[in-house]
Structures are given as structure tokens and as C-alpha cells.
Structure 1
Amino acid sequence: MGSRSGELPGNGSEGLEMELLNMMFADGEEPVGVRVLTYQSSWSINSILNALHEDEIQYLRSSPFGKIVEIAEKPAFSRRFARFMLSRQLKVEKIHEAWFRFAGKPIRFSFREFTIVTGLPCGEIPPKPKMKKKRTVKEKLYWVDLFGYVEDLSVSRALKMLRKNTVTDKDIWIKVACLAIVSSVLLSTNLKMKMLKEHAEQLGDMEEFFAFPWGRLALDMLMSSIKKRDDISLSQNTIALKGFALALQLVIVEAVPLLTEVVQEACSSSDSDSGDEEIDGMKHKLKK
């Protein structure tokens, strides 16, 4: 796994010790009882896949969204696990890089690790084309081809259209599903996400759509949500994470595979403070 626990770029053992001293909270003084909310979950992925036929799911598996389909089969997002890791952040200035302390070692979360667990392209975002003041009839938004002249459409309503077979065109069907993945899984910002017209424009050419750096947009949103919090905000009763928060859990578990069982248990039980004790127990076990 690319996170290489314990390895900091350009630093020797002294640099590692200095980095570990630069923690948000001292060891044993991390806040407890904090609720971590995310507007995205593996449930979002499953609800989309459940609206598709098997051949359409296979189509997604063979696309750059393939790992997103696989993620639906992995443990759901654990709020307790997220709280545990967020309170064990190291203070890092790089915008697209975060480090989390586990069992006395730092684990990196950056574009490299995000790309490995999601399979999404994370290249540079292409510049937006200059918008003309007026559109001709021939230059109508691609949104109209997908949803007619409906101005706003929630993800839940779009999925209902698929489940009820309101959409009969198979090409449109898979495009609606892809737009739902972008809106409610990768770039989720609230519980009632709406489809965005600017994202729908990418669906005119599916090759261009899949090549678009959705991973960069998703990580930018998630990292901004993580980075804007200092030790004071991390001690508040509730912390809300925007974007594909499940990716952080996937990276940490990939770096420490033994945590898989702990995350599964945390997902299946209630979100009480005992979650920290369970994860701490695994931490001490790994130390031994």
C-alpha cells in the first residue's frame, strides 16, 4: 500500500520524531464523544447499484468507476473509526496531504493513496470553456437530453426514476447512474444532494466523462473539510465531513489490514464511546 506507515518523505528518524511531536492532541488526550457525520456512505453506492441491471453494473466495473462498485461490498463508513483517526491527526501544512497517527506510526493520506483505493483519475482539472452570452437552440444543455426541462432534480428522485423504469433509453439509464455516483458519493455536501448541470455536461461523451479528474474534485472537497479543523473544532460535539469520506477509512484499513475486523464491528454496533476502546485495543495488539 502506498501510504507506507512510518515513512515521511525526505525525513529521517529525527524528522519522524519531530513530526509525531506535532500532533493535534497529545497521546491519551484525544477528545471522545465527538460525532462524525458524513453525507456519503456505502449505502449511497448500494442504492445506485440496486437500481441497475447486471449488465450495467458490469459496465461500471470495467470503467474507471470499477473500484467504486467494489467499495459497495466493503464495510460501511464507521463514524467511530473516523472520530478516532481525526483526533489523531498530525499538523501538516500541505494542502493535499494529511497524516494520521496509529500505533505510534504516521499514515499518509494524499492523492497517491486516494487514487489507489478509488481508482479515480486525479489529474489536473481542465479549464472551463468560455461561456457564450446566449445559447442557440442547437447548443442546448445536455441536461435537457437527460431530464428534459426540469430545473432541479435530487439524486433520490433520479434513482426512483430508474427503479420505476421511467427511463427507457439504456444509454440515458447508465448516464443517470454515473451522475448519481458523482453527486451523492464522490461530491456529497448535504443529505439531499441534487444533480448538478455542470457535471451533466460531461456525459455527452462517456470517454471524456470517465477521463475527467473526478478524483481530484473529490479529494479537494474532502481534504478541505478535514484541513479546516483545528484542535478546537475537532473537540466540538459534531464534525461533518463533505465529499468521499469513506476513502479515508479505506486508506487506513489498507495500510493496517488487521483493522478490517475492528471497522466491521464498529459499523455493526451503536456509535458509543466504546468504539475508541475497541480500536485502542487493536492498536496495543499491533504494538506487541
Structure 2
Amino acid sequence: MDLKDLCSQIPLYNGRVLGVLLGIRHMIMRSNDTGLMEFDYCIPEEARLRAHISQRSNLKYVKTVMDIFDDRQRDEFRNSPLWYLAEVAEIQFSAQLIQQLVFRTIRTDKVNELWFNVQGNMMRFGLQEYTLVTGLRCGVFPEGDEFDRVLERRRLKERYFKSMENISLAQLQTTIGRPSTARADRYKLGLVLIVEGVFNAPDNNVGIDLRTLSIVDDLDIFFAYPWGRVGYRRLLHGFRGFWAKKFLKAKRRQEKEVTYTIHGFPIAMQVWAYEVVPEIGECFGQRVGNKCHDCLGGPHENNHSIVRTMYSSRTCGYGYHVLLLKSNST
């Protein structure tokens, strides 16, 4: 059975569909011929063309950075709020699953949430769910003169990328590996590669967010920054109507397929779907173990217990694990 057939047969799942009762009044509904209420999909069924999906996020950047770091830097990273990323193995991106979620996205006036209708299930994916899966902080963005001065810093940009208007992930990775790169700066640039390459995932022709280079020059501010909120916004953009326009335009032109790219960290949504719809998780992944990490009392006072859930993919043949449930958000 493929994912499309499975999504059409999933029964109502009580108890784990997040926020359904609170969110129904924000959905855009209409009445069908039988008098029952229906939800408007962002992409109508008649416009659901074949799609080719790619993603920019790549978890391999974490391993790349860990391999470049020396032993002391690896220890520093494992004592940082992002320590758990060093233990996350490679995860296969499921284009089929994400595509089915795209097709089942429904219209809502809640601009900071995504809602999906899966055979009557109203499922919410918002900043809270993203943070629970990724473990990233999701507090408010810092403001004020002190933070403005942080953003004005150009030391790393001027020293290593002075002549570059845009800095690609490949250029950043090359700079990290150069023997001439100062040791302290190698650590900071490695952190930038992880945040930009895994969670923000820009296009090559756009380059990384230069503000990340400024923020990382103060490690206390960097580790306290709400990167979860940044990554979630990147992921949210396509679902909020950008892709729907592409499908509708292709339908009007009588095209047979659509190609689009997902930015941000779609693996978070993929793992969330495995958890909230067990039928999908049981069909396309296999849970192989749980392990709790108690970070209370550690060097970072805002850390909390984190649960690692591991799956073995039935389609790709290798195991992977991600961090779930308790985040280190403020």
C-alpha cells in the first residue's frame, strides 16, 4: 500500500491530534451537498499533479563539522545546548510523505500554523510541534541596542569572505577546513554551517544569512538565539500558499507535473507525522528503541529532559534517530 492509499484509510485518531478542538473555528469551511461541512484545501484535488520535490537541508553538515573540529572543539560542542545534534544519524527525506501533507494542507486564518485534513483528522503543525521535534529554542527574538550592536559586527565576514556578496554553504565549508582559519573562528564558522545547512537551508544562489555570522561572534547570544523560530519560518513559507500557486498555475497551463524545493528542515515535519499518525510510522518506519537524556543540572540551566526516538527506515535500509518531546526552548 502506498502513502496516498494509506492516508485515505486512516481512521480518526483520538488524543494525539494536536490542538484540534481549539483550532476548528479558524478553518475555512463550506457546506457540501449533504449539508456536512468540508474544509478548503490549499491545493484542490483537480490540481494535484505529479510533483518532483527536493530539499536543501542536509544533516551531513553536522558530521562534516564534527570531523573538522579537533577533540577539544568536539567536547565544547557536546557541552553546548546543541550537543544532541552530534548524536543524530542520517535521516532519509521522504518526498512522498511531504507531498501528501502538501496536498492535505487546508486553508486557515492562523498564519503561523499549518493544518492538515487526513481522512477527517484535523492535524496541526506549528512552532510548538517543530520545537518538540528539533529541540531548538523558540523564544522571542532579542531586541534593543545591545543586540543591534551584535548584528553590526562584520569581523568574520571581513576576515574570511570580504569580497563575497553571497556566501554559499560550500564556500563556508571550505573556509572551515582551511589550515589558515583561526581555531576559535573555525568553531564559530562550524556552528554557522550547522544552523544554516541543516535548519535554515538557503538556496545556493542566495547564500547564508549574514546575520548568523554576526550573531555567532558572541557565543552566549548565539546559543540563546531562537533558531527554532527562524527554521520554522523557513519551512512554513512554502506551505502557506507558494506551492499552491505553482500547482494551480501548472493546471491552468495543462502541464503534467510540478517541481518545487523545500527550505528549512522538513525532516521535523516528517518525524512529527510518524508520531501523530502511527499508521504512517508503522508502515514507513520502524521504532527500534527509546532513550531518555536527563540534562537537568548540566551546564545550561534551560536544558530539559530529551527523549530520543529511533527508527529504522523500511525503505532505505539504515537506522536513524531524532530528538523528540522535550525541547531546550526558553
TM-score where L is the length of structure 1: 0.72
**Per-residue CA distance 1:120-161 (angstroms, 9 max, x = gap):** 1212222364999xx9xxx86232576274535432122223
Give the share of equivalent positions with the same residue, in percent.
Answer: 20
- In the alignment, which residue of structure 1 is the partner of 2:112? 96
Cα RMSD (Å): 3.8
- In the alignment, which residue of structure 2 is the partner of 1:277? none
CA contact (8 A) 1:115 1:121 kept: yes
- Structure 1 pair 113/150, CA: closer, same or farther in 2 (3 Å)? same
Q: Report the Cα distance in structure 2 between the residues aligned to 1:227 and 1:44, rounded to whole angstroms.
A: 28
- 1:124 to 2:140 alignment: yes
Q: Report the Cα distance in structure 1 between the residues aligned to 2:80 and 2:21, rounded to whole angstroms.
A: 32
**Per-residue CA distance 1:209-268 (angstroms, 9 max, x = gap):** 111112112112221221023645346511222222222212212323554461634557
- Structure 1 pair 131/124, CA: closer, same or farther in 2 (3 Å)? closer
- In the alignment, which residue of structure 1 is the partner of 2:170? 156
Q: Report the Cα distance in structure 2 between the residues aligned to 1:15 and 1:177, rounded to whole angstroms.
A: 41
Q: Report the Cα distance in structure 2 between the residues aligned to 1:141 and 1:26, rounded to whole angstroms.
A: 43
**Greater share of residues in strand:** 2
- In the alignment, which residue of structure 1 is the partner of 2:83? 66
What is the deviation of 1:164?
Answer: 4.8
CA contact (8 A) 1:118 1:247 kept: yes
- Structure 1 pair 48/255, CA: closer, same or farther in 2 (3 Å)? farther
- Structure 1 pair 125/267, CA: closer, same or farther in 2 (3 Å)? farther
Deviates more, 1:31-40 or 1:205-214: 31-40
Among 166, 172, 188, the alignment partner of 1:175 is: 188
Aligned-partner residue type, residue 199 of structure 1:
T
Q: Report the Cα distance in structure 2 between the residues aligned to 1:53 and 1:167, rounded to whole angstroms.
A: 13
- In the alignment, which residue of structure 2 is the partner of 1:256? 277
- 1:106 to 2:122 alignment: yes
Q: Report the Cα distance in structure 2 between the residues aligned to 1:193 and 1:34, rounded to whole angstroms.
A: 24
What is the deviation of 1:11?
Answer: 6.1
- 1:242 to 2:255 alignment: no
What are the ranges of 5 or more consecutive residues in structure 1 without an aligned counterpart?
A: 269-288
CA contact (8 A) 2:188 2:217 kept: no
What is the deviation of 1:7?
Answer: 4.4
CA contact (8 A) 2:60 2:90 kept: no
- Structure 1 pair 15/180, CA: closer, same or farther in 2 (3 Å)? closer
- Structure 1 pair 257/166, CA: closer, same or farther in 2 (3 Å)? farther
- Structure 1 pair 52/80, CA: closer, same or farther in 2 (3 Å)? farther
Deviates more, 1:50-59 or 1:172-181: 50-59
Q: Report the Cα distance in structure 2 between the residues aligned to 1:196 and 1:51, rounded to whole angstroms.
A: 22
Number of residues of Structure 1 aligned to a counterpart in Structure 2:
258
Q: Report the Cα distance in structure 2 between the residues aligned to 1:239 and 1:180, rounded to whole angstroms.
A: 24
- Structure 1 pair 195/7, CA: closer, same or farther in 2 (3 Å)? closer
- 1:22 to 2:36 alignment: no
